[in-house]
Amino acid sequence: MICWKCHERLSSLRCASCGALVPPPAQPELFGALGLDRRYHVEAEAIDGAWRRRSKDTHPDRFASASAVERRMALQWTATLNEARRVLRDPVTRAWYLATGKPHPAESGGPKLSPEFLEEIFELRMAAEDTPGAVRDTAAQLRARLDADLEDLFSRWERGEGDLSPVPERLSRLKYVDNLLRELPA
């Protein structure tokens, strides 16, 4: 990439020769904003590291005496980088983001879950009042199976095989299971 101000080659978001800031993207791709590849398998430390580096380059304090436009760009970068870190650090929001472009399921609509699955969740919630221990075990198994499923889908996708279309359905189930686990007495 070339600096828009002095046309020098860029190695970071802030030009090494003139100090100009790369304009923030209007519709940021969150992995790209951090300079990361679009992958499900990414360590929290890698995200934090990328966030720290880029935040340093774009920190509004560095542009305190720059033009109003550049000051605004620095603020926008800060917002984008913080959002990217927040969404990508959590495996669930990261998975939603990769599969749908949004960090959360839609309020309504979304993947249709089988009646059997909802029935199972409902029965578990009924049973939770009497046998919370057994329900916790069952829910933990459901959770583990969904995790393994997601793991497999994303691993294949990262190898260039298959697509992510089954992911939202798995994530929706995960939401019900996690909600159940959260409601169980500790």
Partner 1 sequence: MAYSDKLIEHYENPRNMGSLDKNAEDVGTGLVGAPACGDVMKLQLKINDDGIIEDAKFKTFGCGSAIASSSLVTEMVKGKSIDFAEGIKNTMIAEELALPPVKIHCSVLAEDAIKAAIADYRKKQAERAATPSE
Distance of CA 172 to the CA centre of its chain: 15
Q: Which listed residue (8, 37, 119, 137) binds partner 1 by CB under 8 A?
A: 119
Q: Residue 6: which of 18, 16, 23 has the closest Cα?
A: 18
Q: Which listed residue (30, 73, 88, 121) binds partner 1 by CB under 8 A?
A: 121
Burial class (CB in 10 A: 0-12, 13-18, 19+), 148: exposed
Closer to partner 1 by Cβ: residue 18 or 106: 106
Q: Which two tokens stand for residue 18?
A: 């003139």
Residue located via tokens 């100009």: 20
Q: Rounded to whole angstroms, how far apart are CA atoms 152 and 155?
A: 5
185 binds, among Zn ion, partner 1, none (CB under 5 to 8 A by kind): none
Amino acid identity, residue 170? R
Closer to Zn ion by Cβ: residue 3 or 174: 3
Residue span binding partner 1 (CB under 8 A) among the ranges 39-47, 74-82, 83-91, 169-177: 169-177
- Distance linking the first and last C-alpha atoms of the chain: 53
Give the binding site for Zn ion (CB under 5 A). Answer: 3, 5-6, 8, 15, 18, 20
Q: Which listed residue (6, 18, 126, 127) binds partner 1 by CB under 8 A?
A: 126
Amino acid identity, residue 163? D
Least distance between Zn ion and beta carbon 1 (Å): 11
What residues have CB less than 8 Å from 18, skipping those under 6 apart? 3, 5, 6, 8
Residue span binding partner 1 (CB under 8 A) among the ranges 8-16, 87-95, 157-165, 170-178: 170-178
* Residue 148 in contact with partner 1, rule: CB under 8 A: no
Closer to partner 1 by Cβ: residue 28 or 111: 111
Closer to partner 1 by Cβ: residue 29 or 183: 183
What residues have CB less than 8 Å from 90, skipping those under 6 apart? none
Residues near partner 1 (CB under 8 A): 104-108, 110-111, 113, 115, 118-119, 121-122, 125-126, 172, 175-180, 183
